[in-house]
Copies of this chain bind each other. A is one copy, B any other.
Amino acid sequence: MSRLAEVSPREMRTAATAAVRSALDKCNIQPIRVPPGRDIKHEGDRATTLYLVESGWLYSYCLLADGRRQIVLLHQPGDVIGLADLSGERSICSLRSLQHCVIHPVPTSALSAPSFLTSGVATFLLRKAAEAQAIFARTLVAVGRMDARNRVVWLMLMLHDRRDVDVGISERGEIATDTLIDMPLNQTEIGDLLGLSNVSVSKTLCQLSEEGYIERQGSTIVLRRLADMKRMVDYADLDFEPNVLFQSSRSRIIDTIASSVPEVTQTPKATLSSK
């Protein structure tokens, strides 16, 4: 699973967790609560803080002169936001909440404390940076070389891969929660993430639904043919570190899924029957 050098994964992780937690405590940082759809920072602002995500999704995006937009990275609970800004004076992208979020601002000045080097914080950040790079690379392949259909499939697989590892205890219903994902993005946002128009996203989703690959219930999606989909886009799983800082997210996601798809487990939707 996770690895940095030869330290055992679990060792490193718990060490880093403790270090980061205590660093947070020392800074006496108050978490910020953000409602959905709010901008937290803008491209070009002075970059003075990182954010640790406790709950809720956010995304970093860039605006083009003509108003078009590219979402550059999704942020989920446990992620560190703003690593890219450490290379320059100013932020290279804007940050917006997708849901109601709780985030912990960390002034970059805290990184100069002596404890930064001796504690596991540097290691933790480095691992998070590595994870982000892996996501970036994959995204680039999808956006650069796949058609609309495959890009959408790819995104769903990525979300499936990245969701908290320990969600999947199936209920008595037929559908293993293992094939459920939560995709709390509207189609315009999906398009902005994949370099597509909202129209293209809509058509693709409908088509995938008709063909029985997926089933949609609001923001929840059942991946009916997970293996086929993985083959379709040649998807290889990545190693994501589960959220070690704010474990609470686990139960939250289970709640979300439990509350949003009871119907699916009972009625085999009509959308699935042939075409």
Contact = CB atoms under 8 A, between A and B. Distances in A.
Copies of this chain present: 2
B62 A141 contact: yes
Contacts of A117: 117-118, 120, 122-123
A38 B72 CA distance: 31
Interface residues on A, range: 35 or more
Contact of A140 (B89, B110, B139, B145): B139
A28 interface: no
Contact of A134 (B2, B87, B138): B87
B68 A145 contact: yes
Interface in A60-87: 60, 62, 64-65, 68-70, 72-73, 83-87
A158 interface: no
B136 A88 contact: no
Interface stretch (A177-185, A234-242, A266-274): A234-242
Contacts of A130: 83-87, 129
